[in-house]
Amino acid sequence: MLELWLIRHGETTWNAEKRIQGQSNSQLSDLGIKQAKSLAPRLKDIDFDYVYASDLDRATHTARLALPGAEPMLDKRLREIHFGVLEGKCHAEFNDTEAKLYAFYKEDPYERRIEGGECWRDLGDRIESWLKELPKEGKAVAFSHGGTIRSALFRLIGYPENYEWTAFFANTGITRILIDEGLVTLITVNDHAHIEGLTN
């Protein structure tokens, strides 16, 4: 049986500014660093056999703060969905062309792509290829991104890509899953008790 922990990165400067991140690099904010460090006491007694992380800075930085001394295996498939030409922008900064592009995408984000980006189905296929390569036994943790964790859950439990999911994954939220010969059991989803009360 595999026990899989999926953990979102800490808050970034772009999170705080409400900028679209996607696969662009944005560094952890001061609060994000505190959030990542607050994971360490929760994880220190867990003997992980495998430690993975997205190769984007915000995920690798979170991993190294949460598990000091560990060297995560970096995998591009754990990256966030790519938002193409809109990355780095706030919605309020969209020009007319960008606003129309975003509106077109939002009509069917599961099949439509922003120029240079991915649709949700692309992300699902990408994360599914990673899931299929996971070991069958042991404990694994992956530091990743909100959209990626959502897609991983959907692929594991068989939800369609366009399922209306309104839950939000908090920064450094922990999702734990047991996978035993195809049987998937959700233990916790978005557990972020460790950051309650944290402020800048």
Q: Which is catalytic among the residues 9, 82, 145, 192? A: 9
- Identify whether 9 is a catalytic site residue: yes
Q: Which is catalytic among the residues 3, 80, 87, 118? A: 80
Q: Whole-model pTM? A: 0.95
Q: Which residues, 6 or more positions from 84, have their beta carbon under 8 angstroms from its beta carbon?
A: 22, 113, 114, 115, 116, 117, 118
Each residue's pLDDT tens digit in the chain (200 positions)?
999 999 999 999 999 999 999 999 999 999 999 999 999 999 999 999 999 999 999 999 999 999 999 999 999 999 999 999 999 999 999 999 999 999 999 999 999 999 999 999 999 999 999 999 999 999 999 999 999 999 999 999 988 766 666 668 999 999 999 999 989 999 999 999 999 988 87
Report the topology of domain 2-195: Rossmann fold (3.40.50)
CA distance 193 to 35: 11
- Identify whether 11 is a catalytic site residue: no
Per-domain residue ranges of the chain:
2-195
